[in-house]
Amino acid sequence: MNLTVIDHPLARHYLTVLRDQETAPEEFRNAARRLTYSLVMEATRRVPLEKSRIQSPLEETAGYELGSVAAVAVLRAGLGMLDAVLDLIPEVKVGFAGVQRNEETAEPMEYYAKMPNLEDASVLILEPMLATGGSLSWAVTKTKESGARDVTCLCVVTAPEGVKRMYEDHPDTQIVAAALDRELNDQYYIVPGLGDMGDRLFGTF
């Protein structure tokens, strides 16, 4: 299985805030950012380190620096996770993947893609909702076309259908998520889920 569901009290707390329909957009954005910190910590567990020697106030000692990391935000909901990545990895390269879902077929429709060079980077794809898997699979394909070889997807909530598709389309890609929910409903929304994350982030109901 290429899915890791983080199990931490803080992650459960912030996921609960996101699920609650009474959570206002400002509080929702804050909770999304704070939950993403936990996802980033897990997702970067395998990022290569470069060893060096540094001088502490007392003596010379070993130091470590992260190798190249890139983040690709799937528009628009992925923007709700990007600030947390920038907080933790200020030198991260950032790309954007614009895709919207056809409401009848649930298939992705591309409208924008802008990627940095990803050949030597550990790539984090920010896609909060893994429903059918169409949008995320498309985004992973786009990063691979830009040279990515090490790809990890950060999701808030996933559905079994989307996880299955990702395993079939991109078995070499890891997924780090806060929850694996029950199923998709007949409108292809994750249940219990948290609604439309983009709308809830930006108050566009």
Residue 131 zone, left/alpha/beta (φ > 0; ψ -120 to 50; rest): alpha
**Marked catalytic residue, from 33, 76, 101, 141:** 101
Q: Where are the beta strands (DSSP E) in the chain?
A: 3-5, 49-55, 60-66, 69-75, 93-101, 108-114, 122-126, 129-130, 150-158, 174-180, 183-184, 190-191
In single-letter form, the type of residue at position 199 comes to D
The Cα 60–Cα 58 span in angstroms is 7
4 is catalytic: no
The pairing of beta strand 122-126 with beta strand 129-130? unpaired
152 is catalytic: no
Burial of 57 (0-12, 13-18, 19+ CB in 10 A): exposed
**Marked catalytic residue, from 105, 149, 172, 204:** 105
83 is catalytic: no
Q: Which residue has the tokens 């329909």?
A: 21
The Cα 71–Cα 169 span in angstroms is 20
The Cα 164–Cα 2 span in angstroms is 9
196 is catalytic: yes
Task: Tell me the catalytic residues.
Answer: 101, 105, 196, 199
